[in-house]
């Protein structure tokens, strides 16, 4: 059933329409004036001002590989992240650590570790699944490139973003 | 042949067109964006150059470099003709407007013809062809509706436009726009005729119909230039852009610039008729030295710029009228008000013997 | 004014006037008529009759033709394009027009006044708007008022007719 909404009965002042126009004009000019005088708070001017400093600790930006304080790449190429990654953005080629190495016990290391940032959805599952605390989501969010190839983060790039992680469990170090 | 006249006229035309009008048109687009942004608590374009001042140049390049696409269903000849017809009348209106007193003895008006205001109306009434043709030649429903709306709107508001200026010419007794300015210098501006003659009751009485006439004329100019709240021919939400829906690239830009050029020429006419033209109290005219001639020109364009700001202010405040409201307003209110206003002024003029 | 301007505008006027008749598209006809009016206005202005010229543009090109265009658009006359040309009727029409043209040439050729050359007109210094106003409201005040009433009656009649149709 159609409902008829009764039109409000306007008094002569409202029907003259002019006071309403004047009021509206006053509002817009007030905003204009406040803006000119710099009293209005406006949006952050992005490339000049960034919100990096106020970003929360749990921010999920680009995933990255980290080294520990010994300078070791923490990833052991277990490929769990490759398996869990919902958009299948991660590709790992594992290599063997020579027996002369200090960390020969680890056996595997990632020879190649690519994350396709076109595919990555920043879900953080790789970080969550990683048994080695090797992959973390850092605070980088402006990931750009002119081609698809440029959007693939290789191992070097990932390590560069990741840097050194302090305060992680160092389970592969020799026992004292 | 009077070579002096020809050279100075050519200089005036070229200077007016390329130094004043075209930059003013493109920068009023920029100003519109900045003003609207400020009124909505935004910043507007501020990236290209200092404070975004090179934005219009970037816009022009963008529009020039875009693909000039014509849909296959259009009527090609008229489709190409329409953008030109939209821009040209708006610009050539400026020919009769005195934009300054004199500069080195040369009067600062391109063509001082004795039917000045009629010329303005005649050329302004030709401006509708661009829009109507664009709507029709696009051969598409929304542009067509825009064209039809525009033609009926223009015809309706031309009446109040014409009637609203009659009081001015009742006082001046001459259709020449330079004599309108001359009259206002001697007798005070049209919207404030009591200036300089404070004790005269008749002038105070005269101010009332003159202000009414000013308001009606300004509103009619809003309607003639398709500015909000009367922008029904191009109503974005109803007609997807109206008459220029099918246009792209520089052809679209011509419509856009035509609208702003019409706004500028409309403001110039309003300034000349009601706001004293290039006159500002206390500043002598150009015969006292070239510096005053330049100042007169600057005063004129400052007034025009202030009026353009009002145009923008109104646009970003008031919502669009419904079409029947627009017609009702034009025919039942402004037409009558302007008509009664003529009688009022005639009575005052006859009684107080101006 | 230079004579060549007269020839240019006269030719433009005639060409576009002919185009009004020849064109099959009503909108194109209307626009050609506008250009024809504009050339006519230019001819008036070349005689220093600014008022008449401007009124020509304002009333005919600016108001009446816009109304015409408006109505043509609303009617959507596609039938006109499809209609076949009746060659017999066109030939007859052209014959009548040619006969009239020869007649005019014959009459003008035999008119004594038309053969002598007139001295060029002096540049007018009078305000033609004022003169038109004085003539209208002075000498011809009564006819002017009567015409006004006639137009008013016609307007009321149109309103009445259109109102009846709605019911």
**Full-model pTM:** 0.80
Q: How confident is the model at residue C99 (pLDDT cuts 50, 70, 90)?
A: very high
pLDDT at C45 over 60: yes
Q: Tokens at residue B231, please?
A: 């922008």
pLDDT of residue C95: 92
Same domain, C41 and C18: yes
Q: How far is CA B264 from the centre of its chain?
A: 4
Secondary structure of B281-311 as H, E, C letters = CCCCCHHHCHHHHHHHHHHHHHHHHHHHHHH
Q: What average pLDDT score do residues C67-80 get?
A: 74
User: Which of B84, B123, B106 lies closest to B269, judged by CA?
Assistant: B123
Residue B40 distance to chain A (closest CA, Å): 7
Same domain, C96 and C31: no
Number of folded domains that form chain B: 1
* pLDDT tens-digit readout, C112-164: 777 777 776 666 666 777 778 888 888 888 999 999 999 999 999 988 888 77
Please name the residue of chain B whose CA is at the shortest distance from the CA of residue A18: B318
Q: How confident is the model at residue C98 (pLDDT cuts 50, 70, 90)?
A: very high
Q: What average pLDDT score do residues A3-28 get?
A: 83
pLDDT of residue C96: 93
The mean pLDDT values, 10 residues at a time, for chain B of 354 residues are 77 82 86 88 83 85 84 81 85 83 74 81 84 82 83 83 85 81 79 68 78 88 83 74 79 84 88 82 73 83 89 87 83 86 85 72
ipTM for the complex shown: 0.77
Same domain, C25 and C56: yes
Q: Which residues of A148-172 are buried (b: 16+ CB within 10 A; e: fewer)?
A: eeebbbebebbbebbeebeeeeeeb
Q: How confident is the model at residue C52 (pLDDT cuts 50, 70, 90)?
A: confident
> In a mutagenesis test of the B interface, which of C50, C54, C56 is the best target, namely the one with the most B β-carbons within 10 Å?
C54
Whether chain B has a CB inside 8 Å of the CB on A35: the answer is yes
Q: B320: domain range?
A: 70-352
What sign does the CA torsion over B43, B44, B45, B51 have?
negative
pLDDT of residue B198: 67
What's the CATH number where C2 sits? 1.20.120.1200
Q: C78: domain range?
A: 1-83
Q: How many CA atoms lie within 13 A of A136 on its CB side?
A: 22
Same domain, C3 and C54: yes
Same domain, C64 and C140: no
Same domain, C79 and C4: yes
pLDDT of residue C149: 94
Please name the residue of chain A whose CA is at the shortest distance from the CA of residue B45: A45
Q: Tokens at residue A100, please?
A: 């002369």
Category of A83 on φ-ψ map: left (φ > 0), alpha (ψ -120 to 50) or beta: alpha
Chain B with chain C: Cβ pairs closer than 8 A? 74
**A31/B40 CB distance under 8 A:** yes
* pLDDT tens-digit readout, A91-145: 999 888 888 887 777 788 888 889 898 999 999 898 899 888 888 888 888 888 8
Angle, CA of B290, B291 and B296, to the nearest 5°: 95
Q: How many CA atoms lie within 13 A of C124 on its CB side?
A: 14
> In a mutagenesis test of the C interface, which of B118, B131, B141, B174 is the best target, namely the one with the most C β-carbons within 10 Å?
B118
**For residue B184, is it within any domain?**
yes
**B175/C31 CB distance under 8 A:** no
* pLDDT tens-digit readout, B102-155: 777 777 777 777 788 888 888 888 888 888 888 888 888 888 888 888 888 888
Same domain, C3 and C67: yes
Number of folded domains that form chain C: 3
**For residue B31, is it within any domain?**
no
pLDDT at A164 over 60: yes
Backbone Cα Rg of chain C: 21
Whether chain B has a CB inside 8 Å of the CB on A40: the answer is yes
**For residue B233, is it within any domain?**
yes
Which residues, 6+ apart, have CB-to-CB distance to A28 below 8 Å? B39, B313, B316, B317
């Amino acid at each position: 059933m159609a409902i008829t909404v009764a039109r409000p009965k306007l008094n002569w002042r409202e029907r003259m329409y002019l006071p309403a126009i004047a009021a509206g004009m006053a509002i817009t000019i007030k905003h204009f004036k406040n803006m000119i005088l710099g009293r209005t708070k406006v949006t952050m001017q992005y490339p000049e001002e960034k919100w990096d400093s106020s970003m929360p600790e749990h921010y999920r930006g680009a995933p990255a590989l980290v080294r520990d304080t010994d300078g070791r790449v923490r990833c052991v190429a277990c490929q769990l992240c490759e398996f869990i990654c919902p958009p299948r953005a991660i590709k790992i080629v594992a290599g063997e650590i020579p027996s002369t190495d200090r960390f020969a016990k680890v056996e595997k290391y990632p020879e190649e570790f690519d994350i396709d940032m076109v595919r990555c959805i920043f879900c953080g599952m790789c970080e969550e699944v990683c048994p080695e605390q090797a992959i973390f989501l850092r605070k980088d969010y402006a990931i750009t490139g002119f081609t698809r190839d440029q959007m693939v983060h290789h191992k070097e790039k990932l390590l560069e973003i990741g840097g050194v992680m302090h305060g992680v469990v160092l389970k592969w170090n020799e026992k004292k | 042949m009077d070579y002096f006249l020809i050279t100075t006229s050519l200089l005036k035309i070229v200077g007016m067109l390329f130094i004043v009008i075209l930059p003013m048109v493109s920068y009023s687009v920029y100003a519109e964006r900045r003003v609207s942004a400020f009124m909505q608590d935004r910043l507007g374009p501020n990236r290209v150059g200092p404070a975004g001042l090179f934005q219009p140049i970037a816009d022009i390049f963008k529009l020039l470099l875009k693909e000039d696409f014509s849909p296959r269903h259009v009527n090609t000849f008229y489709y190409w003709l329409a953008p030109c017809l939209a821009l040209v009348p708006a610009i050539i209106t400026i020919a009769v407007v005195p934009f300054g007193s004199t500069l080195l003895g040369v009067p600062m008006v391109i063509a001082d013809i004795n039917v000045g205001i009629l010329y303005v109306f005649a050329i302004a009434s030709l401006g509708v062809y661009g829009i109507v043709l664009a709507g029709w030649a696009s051969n598409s429903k929304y542009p067509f509706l825009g064209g039809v709306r525009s033609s009926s709107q223009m015809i309706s508001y031309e009446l109040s436009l014409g009637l609203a200026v009659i009081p001015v010419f009742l006082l001046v007794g001459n259709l020449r726009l330079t004599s309108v300015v001359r009259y206002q210098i001697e007798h005070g501006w049209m919207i404030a005729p009591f200036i300089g003659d404070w004790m005269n009751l008749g002038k105070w009485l005269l101010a009332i119909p003159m202000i009414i006439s000013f308001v009606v004329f300004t509103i009619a100019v809003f309607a003639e230039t398709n500015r909000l709240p009367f922008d029904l021919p191009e109503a974005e939400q109803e007609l997807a852009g109206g008459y220029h829906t099918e246009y792209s690239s520089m052809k679209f830009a011509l419509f856009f610039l035509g609208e702003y050029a019409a706004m500028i020429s409309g403001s110039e006419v309003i300034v000349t008729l009601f706001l004293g033209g290039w006159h500002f109290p206390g500043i002598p005219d150009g015969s006292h030295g070239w510096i005053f001639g330049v100042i007169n020109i600057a005063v004129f364009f400052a007034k025009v710029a202030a009026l353009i700001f009002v145009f923008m202010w109104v646009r970003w405040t008031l919502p669009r009228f419904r079409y029947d409201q627009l017609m009702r307003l034009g025919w039942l209110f402004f037409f009558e008000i302007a008509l009664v206003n003529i009688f009022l002024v005639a009575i005052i003029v006859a009684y107080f013997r101006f | 004014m230079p004579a060549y301007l007269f020839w240019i505008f006269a030719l433009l006027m005639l060409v576009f006037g002919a185009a009004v008749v020849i064109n099959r598209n009503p909108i194109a006809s209307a626009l050609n008529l506008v250009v024809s009016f504009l050339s006519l206005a230019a001819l008036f202005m070349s005689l220093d009759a600014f008022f008449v010229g401007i009124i020509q543009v304002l009333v005919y090109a600016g108001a009446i033709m816009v109304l015409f265009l408006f109505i043509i658009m609303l009617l959507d006359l596609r039938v006109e394009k499809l209609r076949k040309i009746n060659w017999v009727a066109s030939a007859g029409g052209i014959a009548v027009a040619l006969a009239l043209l020869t007649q005019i040439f014959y009459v003008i050729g035999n008119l004594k006044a038309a053969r002598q050359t007139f001295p060029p007109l002096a540049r007018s210094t009078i305000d033609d708007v004022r003169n038109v106003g004085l003539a209208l409201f002075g000498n011809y005040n009564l006819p002017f008022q009567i015409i006004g009433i006639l137009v008013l009656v016609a307007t009321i009649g149109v309103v009445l007719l259109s109102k009846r149709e709605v019911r």
